[in-house]
Chains A and B, each alone.
Chain A
């Protein structure tokens, strides 16, 4: 293994980890408000298909991104209404959102399967990209990779250092207390869920506009679910999410690494690596039950019902 090979692998790990990073950043904000949205996969697929359709019909990848963000947010609005207003079970509603999104995306995308578009071009950052090895790995990506890192920094700042972050935390930890001091719990949760949906849409757009770039049914292949595991794995901390996303990115391209090293294992068997990695991660997290309980938002998955308060 030479240094060029390692550089390429790490570059690809970041590229592959970016959709996971985007969607996990949205989900962590949503979960911090106490709402568990299992509809990630469905929102991501809808973002991917709508982003692709918008870019395909207008010729503008930028419009595709906006379309995807809008679609992801719209999908999450359905979830938010059911969960926050009708107090439906968050797990079942999230599953419904995934099934709905999977079906609807396959339906509206059936006309453009196999079509290709001009995706995003890489932006090579001057000077920084000239640094040996590191320059190539970090500073020769497309726009969305840089945006995802900036978003991670912004979210880390807002959730940890600002009043907004404090309100979010209060709502997720103890909605009744938050309500008592005059915070509109449902409004905060609506906004958090919407943000999660928008990020899931953006993540989907990354898949269909940058990563492949084309639309294939079910093209996210479980990334929405992996992101849910990633958030727990990262103990709801943004810094850990960034690291974890790139680690999962690395696991997803491990088959290329092994083939590059001359191993001859069936690619069908190797394609299960990211999922096996997720299961292992779930086992590690679960085994440390005490830590998980300590770090998870206290009211995660539990409905807040202002009607009972009245």
Chain B
């Protein structure tokens, strides 16, 4: 029997340089693998996998209504993800987008509800500013605790997510509850003056989605062209070098965290002043957590994040459609997101390593 010219079981070897091709293709590969796992899961559940994938990925883009709804989901996801991407670039483990979003919605609503019977032109800007400031405040507390008391940012931001949820529930059950609402835990409907204008003649896509896109592009520009963007990059990859270069880590931490808080706060107020139209307990189906995955999927790059958000919004929309058409609980989307991040992390391994099938130069990398 003649020996094969290549090895059946490849050996693993370190790459000399990280692979740029792998860095870009890893998210695509991860999405592909996730869809394979999804297909297997759907087959096990007795659904036709091709039909399920069609419902999940194609149907959300099939008509004007679905595209509108998909854009509505894109808004908050993109805003949160861009903020988180910048944080992760600077090595700041901010998991608090969900809480910042909820508090943004709460704080903005408190202002919007002062204008229920008003048509003042400044009502909407004030509402949005209140939402942004509330989100910033909610990011500022863990930042302060980190800088002053060196407390763990991951755990404090997570705890602030839970505290935010309690506060939101308190708001809709207490001071912000609609007095004429028959006891439902909801605020009054916002007036026209505090509602974001719609983008198209039909559907629910609103100005907030446009804000998200513009802000993502602006962030991309600032990151690549400004000195601040450069500082963040250096700070994230080598903190010692950043300090040596005289960059203030305190200042950068504040800027990055407040920026992320502002974006998440805007996401929150844009949800209640946009598609929802009032403050309710269920504002976010975990947008702030999904944004973590989006940020990674988009390679912590604002432009990549736009593409990743598009995929995730389609998936969210597809999850809604799958529940209606296939009777699959929407929770399946959360599971897909987890699998996706697993695959992404695993594929990223091959940025720094490669499989060697070649018999002759196995020792080359050593």
The answer, yes or no, to whether A219 is at the interface (CB within 8 Å) is no
Beta-carbon contact of B170 and A266 below 8 Å: yes
Q: B310 near A: Cβ within 8 Å?
A: no
The residues in A between 84 and 106 inclusive whose CB is less than 8 angstroms from any CB of B are: 86-89, 91-93, 95-104, 106
How many interface residues does A have (CB within 8 Å)? 48
Q: 8 Å CB contacts to B: which residues of A239-291?
A: 266, 268-269, 271-272, 275-276, 278-279, 282-283, 285-287, 289
Q: Is the CB of B335 within 8 A of A103?
A: yes
Task: Check if B170 sits within 8 Å of A103, measured CB to CB.
Answer: no
B166 contacts A92, C-beta separation under 8 Å: no
| Given A101-B338, A104-B334, CB of A91 within 8 Å of CB of B154 | yes
Contact A95 B174 (CB under 8 A): no
Q: Are B170 and A106 in contact (CB under 8 A)?
A: no
Question: Does B210 lie at the interface of the complex (its beta carbon under 8 Å from any beta carbon of A)?
Answer: no
Inter-chain CA distance A240–B318, complex, in Å, is 47
- A149 to B149: give the CA distance in the assembly, Å: 33
CB-based contact A107/B331 at 8 Å = yes
- Specify which chain B residues have a CB less than 8 angstroms from the CB of A286 in the assembled complex: 145-146, 149-152
Known contacts: A95-B95, A268-B169, A286-B145. The answer to whether A278 contacts B155 by CB under 8 A is: yes
Given contacts A268-B166, A272-B167, contact A82 B145 (CB under 8 A): no
Interface size for chain B: under 10, 10 to 19, 20 to 34, or 35 or more residues?
Answer: 35 or more
Contact A86 B345 (CB under 8 A): yes
Chain B, range 145-196, C-beta contacts under 8 Å to A: 145-146, 149-152, 154-156, 158-160, 162-163, 166-167, 169-170, 173-174
Q: Chain B nearest CB: distance from A309 CB in Å?
A: 12
A136 and B159 CA atoms in complex are apart in Å by 33
1/0 per residue, CB under 8 A from A, across B7-23: the answer is 00000101000000000
* Given A89-B345, A272-B166, A97 and B338 contact (CB-CB distance below 8 Å): yes
B93, B158, B339, B341: residue with the most chain A Cβ atoms closer than 10 Å: B158
When distances are taken between beta carbons in the complex, the residues of chain A under 8 Å from B332 are 103, 107
Known contacts A82-B345, A307-B12; A104/B166 CB under 8 A: no
B322-364, CB < 8 A from A: 329, 331-339, 341-342, 345-346, 348-349
Chain B residue at smallest Cβ distance from A307: B14
**Chain A residues in 8 Å Cβ range of B346:** 82, 86, 88
Choose, from A124-132, A205-213, A221-229, the stretch at the interface: A221-229
- Check B133 for interface membership: any CB of A closer than 8 A: no
Q: Chain B residue with minimal CB distance to A269?
A: B170
CB contacts under 8 Å to A, within B91-127, are 93, 95
Q: Which residues of A contact B289 (CB under 8 A)?
A: 99
Q: Is A217 an interface residue (CB 8 A)?
A: yes
Chain A residue at minimum C-beta to C-beta distance from B289: A99
CB–CB B159/A103 < 8 A: no
Within 8 A of A (CB), among B283-303: 289, 292-293, 296
Determine if A96 and B151 form an interchain contact, defined as CB atoms under 8 angstroms apart: no
Report the nearest B residue to A278, measured CB to CB: B159
Q: Which residues of A contact B166 (CB under 8 A)?
A: 268-269, 271-272, 275
List which B189-238 residues lie within 8 A (CB) of chain A.
Answer: none
Contact of B334 (CB < 8 Å), options: A92, A97, A103, A228: A103
Decide: B151 and A103 in contact? CB cutoff 8 A.
Answer: no
Residues of A within 8 A of B348 (CB): 88
Given A95-B292, A99-B293, A266-B170: A283 touches B151 (CB 8 Å cut-off)? yes
Complexed CA–CA distance, A89 and B166 (Å): 31
Do the beta carbons of B296 and A92 come within 8 Å of each other? Answer: yes
Q: State in angstroms the CA–CA spacing of A113 and B166 once bound together.
A: 22
Binary per-residue interface labels of chain A (121-141) against chain B in the complex, 1 for a CB within 8 Å, 0 otherwise: 000000000000000000000
Select the residue from A98, A232, A279 with max chain B CB neighbours within 10 A: A279
A180 to B130, CA, bound (A): 59
CB of A38 closer than 8 Å to a CB of B: yes
23 A-B pairs within 8 Å (CB atoms) are namely A38-B154, A82-B346, A86-B346, A86-B349, A95-B292, A99-B338, A100-B335, A100-B339, A103-B333, A107-B331, A107-B334, A217-B331, A229-B155, A232-B152, A269-B166, A269-B167, A272-B163, A275-B163, A276-B159, A282-B152, A282-B156, A283-B151, A285-B152
B: which residues have CB within 8 A of A? 12, 14, 93, 95, 145-146, 149-152, 154-156, 158-160, 162-163, 166-167, 169-170, 173-174, 289, 292-293, 296, 329, 331-339, 341-342, 345-346, 348-349
Q: 10 extra interchain contacts, Cβ-Cβ under 8 A, other than A86-B346, A96-B345, A266-B170?
A: A100-B339, A103-B335, A104-B335, A106-B334, A268-B170, A272-B163, A275-B159, A282-B145, A285-B151, A307-B14
